[in-house]
Amino acid sequence: MTAPAAALQKALFEALNGDGSLSAALGGAKLFDHAPENVPFPYVTYGRTSVYDWTTGMENDAEQLFTLHFWSKSEARKEMLDAMDLVSTRLQDAALALDKHHRINLRLEFTEARYDEDLLAYHGLLRFRAVTEENA
């Protein structure tokens, strides 16, 4: 049941790293699975993914919860919040290429923005819920 998660992550990377507005806000295509060492701020990392199998005798559906983490060392949280807004807007109606699956639903479930004292950086979270179905 990992195929829907891999397909969704690939489609998200393509959609977000190919978005000119987001690239301009981040200073390049900076959505990473794991951030490379010494990557300049701001950037976005792909976080936790949970997949729930909704397979029935007739359909092969999956519900996925995934989190995007936003990182900024700007003096104000506005840089991070602007990037979060760009991503949530971009994904709202995004046509995602999901290989052997298609998107049924994708919606923002949760948003959080805070200052991380240990990293001396702003840390934002967007958690999405996606429902995909295997192509017939």
- Indicate whether 16 pLDDT > 70: yes
| Interatomic CA distance for residues 64 and 62, integer angstroms | 6
Tell me what pLDDT residue 54 has.
Answer: 65
Tell me what pLDDT residue 100 has.
Answer: 74
Domain hosting 22: range is 3-134
| Interatomic CA distance for residues 65 and 102, integer angstroms | 16
CATH (domain of 86) = 3.30.2000.30
Closest by CA to 82, choosing from 22, 37, 31, is: 22
- Indicate whether 79 pLDDT > 80: yes
The structure tokens listed for 41 are: 């701020």
| Interatomic CA distance for residues 80 and 127, integer angstroms | 15
Tell me what pLDDT residue 1 has.
Answer: 43
**Span 63-82, average pLDDT:** 93
Local confidence band at 98 (pLDDT 50, 70, 90 cut-offs): confident
Query: CA separation (Å) from 28 to 20, 24, 84, 111, 112?
Result: 9, 6, 15, 23, 23
If one counts the domains in the chain, the total is 1
- Indicate whether 34 pLDDT > 50: yes
